[in-house]
Amino acid sequence: MKNKFSGIVAVLIAVLILALSASSALAQSEGAQTGDPRPLFRAELAIVAPRMAPMGQAVSMSVFDRQNQNPVKDAGIWAITRENAESLRERIAELREEDENAIRELDWESLVSGYGFFLGTTHGNGQLKYAFTEEGGHLLIAVKPGYQPGRTGIAIRNIPEADVSSQWEKPGKGPRNAPDLPKQFNRKPQAENNAETEG
């Protein structure tokens, strides 16, 4: 009987210890939450743009909230050259070393504006169109207060347009000095084709 009783007491003590440790752990996490009113996870932007675009043609860029996929109005978009992107990355690493929480409270707009050029702000549908005038690779960064910035890359290329207008004499015919097309490829009205084959 004594063994049974000591076994039951040991189980009750173990359950009591587990319950107390779980409640103290919960109390600590609640205290941490009430001590710091900032949310643990902040909203984050995402930006979508083509990977490559021709120089001088308008490029459509879309900015949306990464968590719920809704378009974000009035987000600023900056383009940063590859060289400046490396400098910006180094500056952000320095700020992280100083204080990890400083990154959450950072004024991204003023930081990014020192390294890139401003393209504009998004409209109500979360889009912005911009025609790049210089060739090269750029890092696009979308920034809005209350959000972590979003980023993507884009390459702008000078793609010359082909001039084919001088090669064609008449619509429906081949290039100059090319042999005539066979009759079945000529685009004449059906009645004309029938008259030629009958005669």
pLDDT tens digit sequence for 126-159: 999 999 998 999 999 999 998 989 999 999 998 8
Give the mean pLDDT of the chain: 76
C-alpha 157/C-alpha 174 separation (Å) is 31
Q: What phi and psi, each to the nearest 5 degrees, are found at residue 32?
A: -65, -35
Q: What is the pLDDT of residues 28-83, one digit of tens each?
A: 544 444 454 444 456 899 999 999 999 999 999 999 999 999 999 999 999 999 88
| H-only helix segments in 36-119 | 82-98, 100-104, 108-113
C-alpha 180/C-alpha 187 separation (Å) is 13
pTM above 0.85, yes or no: no
Looking up tokens 């790049």 gives 132
* b/e 87-118 (16+ beta carbons within 10 angstroms → b): ebeeeeeeeeeeeeeeeeeeebeebbeebbee
Q: What is the pLDDT of residues 32-46, one digit of tens each?
A: 444 544 444 568 999
Q: Which of 140, 142, 141 is nearest to 126 (CA)?
A: 142
Q: pLDDT at position 59, please?
A: 93
Residue type at 61 in one-letter notation: M
